[in-house]
Structure 1
């Protein structure tokens, strides 16, 4: 077990290495705009639709000067506790400056509804101002949320779970200024409000989890704080990165002076590297590696704010693992994915992925359990201008398997 944890720590340090080498000439590793400058040989679903409707395609010059790309996908998914939900995923990619010197900005809007009492309105934005002088990120959620929990630690049987109901409001905003090429620093504001937390468990959530903060039946958990942010990012396109490196450090301080129920702090460290093997620009042949370390530094952190799988800021980790399956005061995660085109025109592709995670146990804060997952997926090019794929993934782990459909890559 110690050897496995050593491997996790080594891989985390390996993916963080580019953070300390930002002075190198990263432009040699970046394809312009992260999409081929000539997309005439590429094909997407929009091309097929235009062909069916006999709509004349735009000229190469018109496509090159285009600054906004939209993708929309209505899908159905399963709801925790039973039932289905309708999800409409909309992704907008656009340039807020010259394409040659400004990264692609994105806004993702993914509302869902089960036609009764369950719904969610999440909106995420990642904006790059002209010439990449500023990076402004936003994450706003309003959810009426059922979610399973298995308590703390990683050793609980899959059937030993409890359904929690609550309303959730999230408001995260940050602004980062470029300090050096690819390196940014800034501040943010983070708000989490969990309202009317309740379960059907006879003795309540506190008894089920053995945790006394933010678990009282019918209680509210309010956390409000500032964050200090460091970012290193050489990816031109965050929707579907081909080459590049990403590293993000967020230190969050919640205080009763800002309205929090308690004072607590957290650290989130996220690192990703994309290694291209393609011989021509725009071709999908990439090995992607993602690792994050997430921990809280105080004992009064509300239960639903504790690190848990699939609940990191992007809600993307742990494909093949049920959301919040593992929760603890510290979580370590590592995932790798190989992405490859099937057709030369880029319309179809595939991925294979595998991940491991571990959370600290409650008794001694050690990492006793390693939780693996794996899977594969199909990719269909929806919009070649923003390099947006429809991602259909099948993932599995011990005691669970599932299919997910989304716009864009997991990371």
Structure 2
């Protein structure tokens, strides 16, 4: 319990910093005059390729980063992943944030595959923000039921095909505040229970919504989205604030199996520790995710690692903790190793708690931590290759990403 309380204290530190006036993210950007380098520069130096000279009038606005990797998947099988990220500007970079599209197909050769596409588009002068999340997955994964306190061996394998289609459009209200609406669709098909377990998923979880074997679970409905964002680069945020609220309503008259509602509130703070020189900063992330009514399908309940970008819980098995409510805190220290920004490192700690079944009590707190290496892949878009090692009480993993975890 002492370690859990210490982790909570570290992760709550950003709320002690809210007195800072953060009207402009550029105000806190470290000044660094050292010429930057990335992997593209290294390749050019080895093969003696001179970059094409770009005139002052010519501005490149599209940057690609591609990372073919292999890491452990479910049941410790190897997984082949190819992550491609495109960063581009749809307006003047001085007043328009970097838009990103990420396509990361994966295959583990043992029945698990996925075709996820995430997009975050900023129109000229940030007049509108268009967000998209489309996935087609064959997704066997373990579940440990609701709440916490279960041993890691008390798990249940669930297999299904999953189609997600989320789209939202937000209009700028003030320079950093946006509001809009969206549409969310979740379709879980052919939900199958573990053939080696005598119990059904409904019996294992003691939850009746969306747990029937060999059946489908469908949810469809609108969302209300509020966004506050002073960062100008999702791939590598500079000091500033991020806040996001998503209220979701899935009514039966739009095809949902049940009427249900949920709320997701996400707050992040990025704090520079120096006014000049290489990157030296702290990043904080916290979110609260809860179902607001009964009827939420089991696979749509708040779960660790299933947040919108599936980046929470480094060092904890995805889906390890699930409940009708989930609370999460994370703190990360980010530092350049080389002055040119080519190499860097991070150290992080996080903690979460899922509410106990049939209650909203947060009884068990689940900490994790780790460290990672950063290699600058593309200095123009700020894209890093992230190689992180995370560990918790009963699990450890190596996590590979293009861009920062949050």
- Give the 5 Å matches for 1:319-398: 319-398=314-393
Note the C-alpha offset of 1:83. 1.7
Q: Distance in 2 between matches of 1:317 and 1:73?
A: 21
Instruction: Tell me, yes or no, if structure 1 residue 403 matches structure 2 residue 398.
Output: yes
Relative to structure 1, the CA distance from residue 90 to residue 6 in structure 2 (aligned partners, 3 Å threshold; closer, same or farther) is: closer
User: Which residue of structure 2 aligns with residue 76 of structure 1?
Assistant: 70
Q: Distance in 1 between matches of 2:261 and 2:358?
A: 21
- Give the 5 Å matches for 1:49-68: 49-59=43-53, 61=55, 65-68=59-62
Q: Distance in 1 between matches of 2:398 and 2:43?
A: 26
Note the C-alpha offset of 1:246. 0.3
Q: Distance in 2 between matches of 1:93 and 1:133?
A: 18
- Give the 5 Å matches for 1:9-408: 11=12, 14=15, 25-29=23-27, 31=29, 41-59=35-53, 61=55, 65-115=59-109, 117-199=111-193, 200=195, 201-280=197-276, 283-408=278-403
Deviations for 1:153-201, whole angstroms, at most 9, x for unmatched residues? Answer: 1110011111111000010000000001100000000011111111222
Task: Say whether the 8 Å CA contact 1:249–1:270 is kept in structure 2.
Answer: yes
Task: Say whether the 8 Å CA contact 1:309–1:327 is kept in structure 2.
Answer: yes
Relative to structure 1, the CA distance from residue 166 to residue 261 in structure 2 (aligned partners, 3 Å threshold; closer, same or farther) is: same
Tell me the SS of whatever aligns to 2:299.
Answer: helix
Task: Say whether the 8 Å CA contact 2:302–2:324 is kept in structure 1.
Answer: yes
Note the C-alpha offset of 1:59. 4.0
Note the C-alpha offset of 1:7. 5.6
TM normalised by structure 2 equals 0.93
Q: CA RMSD in A?
A: 2.5
Tell me the SS of whatever aligns to 2:120.
Answer: strand
Task: Say whether the 8 Å CA contact 2:25–2:231 is kept in structure 1.
Answer: no
Task: Say whether the 8 Å CA contact 1:30–1:236 is kept in structure 2.
Answer: no
Note the C-alpha offset of 1:26. 1.8
Q: Distance in 1 between matches of 2:380 and 2:217?
A: 42
Tell me the SS of whatever aligns to 1:240.
Answer: coil
Q: Distance in 1 between matches of 2:272 and 2:174?
A: 25
Note the C-alpha offset of 1:57. 2.0
Note the residue ranges of structure 2 that are not aligned, 5 or more in a row: none
TM normalised by structure 1 equals 0.92
Q: Distance in 2 between matches of 1:61 and 1:397?
A: 51
Q: Distance in 1 between matches of 2:191 and 2:51?
A: 52
Note the C-alpha offset of 1:54. 1.6
Q: Distance in 1 between matches of 2:198 and 2:157?
A: 12
Note the residue ranges of structure 1 that are not aligned, 5 or more in a row: none
